[in-house]
A and B are shown apart, each in its own frame.
Chain A
Amino acid sequence: MLQLVAGIEKGPSAAIVTVENLVKRFGHFTALNDVNLTVAAGEKIVLCGPSGSGKSTLIRCINHIEKHDAGRIVVDGIELSDRMTDVNVVRREVGMVFQSFNLFPHLSVVENCMLAPMKVRGLSRAEARERAIGLLRKVRIHDQANKYPGQLSGGQQQRVAIARALCMQPKIMLFDEPTSALDPEMVKEVLDTMVELAKDGMTMVCVTHEMGFAREIADRVVFMDRGCIVEEADPEAFFRAPRTERARDFLGQIIH
């Protein structure tokens, strides 16, 4: 919904995230080396690559959970710098879902969803609750609204985490291996939720190795290795005929 509106204002291909010449180092290790990436409003991008290739670091830089060392990141027209006011404005517009859910264990499911809208967006308790219940219903977990995260399964927790991020009405959603910590039988419920979100028009950047998911919803697959973007292609082309040796090796390892 939100996305359609934003799309009309800015034109269908307006870049919502622009990453230019991004460099990120951890000590002597260069995690990202001169990375360039543009995400258009409404676009769905799947980031893949071997572990340690920098894909998680890249999306963590987009909402400044990791500070980059060089290059530019512009999100929704705001350049990320050390000015925390800018950073917090950007973070409001960028939802993030983590591998380990990171729900707040001391708050109930619905309180998890209400906290940021009330404290950051300034919604009243009633408004925040209404929005939270609505989005929990969307991820089909509203009947657990008053439970605590520790009482839910991993798949349920991850769906709550998605609803919690959506409650901020973000313009873009980042997913950092959202299904990697899940037992196999719970992967599908989370992926289904993400597919639904994609079909609603949400701009998404997903780090995932779920290639079925990538085929179904991705507009573009971005393959990373050793801190660089090695290949970008539409999913059909990428999976059928990867252009680079490294991508072929990678696909050979993950597709059994």
Chain B
Amino acid sequence: MFAVLLEQTADGQRYIDWLVSGLGWTLALAFFGWWIAFAVGVVVGIGRTVQNRAVAALARLYVEIFRNIPVLVQMFLWYFVLPEILPVALGNAIKQIPPPWGSFFPALVCLGLYTAARIAEQVRAGIEALPKGQVEAASALGLSGYLTYRHVIVPQALRLIIPSLTSEVMGIYKNTSVALTIGLMELTAQARQISEATFQTFTAFGAATLVYLALALIAYQGMALIDRAVRIPGTGRGEDAIEPAATHAIQPIDSLPDAMEVVK
């Protein structure tokens, strides 16, 4: 059934090479987009929880804007609208970025900042789920606000949200398919191109589907490995014998609180 993928294309390649090329763009977009999303998301998520009201309001504004506009619309905004509202010279320079980079960079920024808003909400939920005593203990030791976030709050909050970050990892690479609308020849776009060239619609999209599924499994397993690697000893399920007195004293760090947003 997938034999058609091995046939020669008009440009001398095989159809499967198109898919591989598409996969490359999908992975590149998801990988670099993820690091933008993670970095911005952690900063904005922390911003949502600080006492400074101006900072908290700015962080909130960021989240509301980027989370509530459909990702497809955001893609168009970055690709079509941004060059028009910038000064003419700059706008023209952006329009003249050669393909595929002219599509790749807007898609990268779009997915990164969109996913960042979602990550920020989870970082905030993770921070707010920590027992108040953690901040009090850090303050009582004389740690400044920055040191408290850096060494006490953020390391715990990030561990807490790894399970829900898994869906963001899977989300960002699935959302890369939206980049086809601004002309990036990623996996879905290549599948469509194969379908149009060969009329083998089922084969083309079937192959893309299998690749997406495989990526999902890899992402899931990767995150599960990370989760296990950074799990705090003494808090895992049944991993250590914890004396009964100790179990009620510490917060169950791997149970998600009600505040945790369930995504997707």
**A178 in contact (CB, < 8 A):** no
**A78 in contact (CB, < 8 A):** no
Interface-forming stretch among A29-37, A69-77, A112-120, A228-236?
Answer: A112-120
Q: Is the CB of A102 within 8 A of B143?
A: no
Q: How many interface residues does A have (CB within 8 Å)?
A: 42
Interface-forming stretch among B40-48, B164-172, B228-236?
Answer: B228-236
Which residues of chain A have C-beta atoms less than 8 A from B243's C-beta? 152-153
Which residues of chain A have C-beta atoms less than 8 A from B232's C-beta? 105-106, 148, 150
Which residues of chain B have C-beta atoms less than 8 A from A95's C-beta? 140
Which residues of chain A have C-beta atoms less than 8 A from B249's C-beta? 100-101, 154, 157, 181
- Selected from B141, B144, B240, the residue in CB contact (under 8 A) with A115 is B141
Which residues of chain B have C-beta atoms less than 8 A from A186's C-beta? 245
Given A105-B232, A154-B245, CB of A119 within 8 Å of CB of B253: no
Q: Is the CB of B246 within 8 A of A153?
A: yes
Taken together as a complex, chains A and B put the C-alpha atoms of A154 and B245 apart, in Å, by: 5
- Least CB distance from A83 to B in Å reads 13
**A104 in contact (CB, < 8 A):** yes
- Selected from A89, A91, A182, the residue in CB contact (under 8 A) with B140 is A91
Which residues of chain A have C-beta atoms less than 8 A from B143's C-beta? 115-116, 119-120
Q: Is the CB of A65 within 8 A of B140?
A: yes
**B142 in contact (CB, < 8 A):** yes
Q: Is the CB of A150 within 8 A of B245?
A: no
Q: Is the CB of A63 within 8 A of B140?
A: yes
Q: Is the CB of A98 within 8 A of B234?
A: no
Interface-forming stretch among B21-29, B72-80, B97-105, B150-158?
Answer: B150-158
Q: How many interface residues does B have (CB within 8 Å)?
A: 32
Q: Is the CB of A116 within 8 A of B141?
A: yes
Q: Is the CB of B134 within 8 A of A147?
A: no
Taken together as a complex, chains A and B put the C-alpha atoms of A153 and B152 apart, in Å, by: 21
Taken together as a complex, chains A and B put the C-alpha atoms of A175 and B253 apart, in Å, by: 26
- Least CB distance from A239 to B in Å reads 29
Which residues of chain B have C-beta atoms less than 8 A from A119's C-beta? 143, 147, 151
**A41 in contact (CB, < 8 A):** no
Q: Is the CB of A165 within 8 A of B141?
A: yes
Interface string of A151-175 (1 = CB under 8 A from B): 1111111000100110010000000
Identify the closest chain A residue to B155 (Cβ): A106
**B131 in contact (CB, < 8 A):** yes
- Least CB distance from B152 to A in Å reads 6
Which residues of chain A have C-beta atoms less than 8 A from B136's C-beta? 65, 98, 102
**B118 in contact (CB, < 8 A):** no
**A25 in contact (CB, < 8 A):** no
Given A148-B233, A151-B234, A154-B246, CB of A168 within 8 Å of CB of B133: no
- Least CB distance from A172 to B in Å reads 12
Q: Is the CB of A150 within 8 A of B235?
A: yes
Taken together as a complex, chains A and B put the C-alpha atoms of A92 and B243 apart, in Å, by: 33
Interface string of A137-153 (1 = CB under 8 A from B): 00000000001111111
**A96 in contact (CB, < 8 A):** yes
**B54 in contact (CB, < 8 A):** no
Taken together as a complex, chains A and B put the C-alpha atoms of A101 and B245 apart, in Å, by: 12
Most chain A beta-carbon contacts within 10 A, residue among B144, B155, B242: B144
**A88 in contact (CB, < 8 A):** yes
Identify the closest chain B residue to A104 (Cβ): B152
Taken together as a complex, chains A and B put the C-alpha atoms of A65 and B133 apart, in Å, by: 10
- Least CB distance from A150 to B in Å reads 2
- Least CB distance from A12 to B in Å reads 27
- Report 14 cross-chain contacts, Cβ distance below 8 Å, ordered by A residue: A65-B136, A88-B142, A91-B142, A98-B136, A100-B249, A104-B138, A104-B152, A105-B232, A116-B143, A119-B151, A150-B242, A161-B137, A164-B141, A183-B245
Known pairs A102-B137, A104-B138 / 10 extra A-B pairs, C-beta < 8 Å: A91-B139, A96-B137, A98-B136, A106-B155, A119-B143, A151-B240, A156-B246, A168-B141, A168-B142, A181-B249
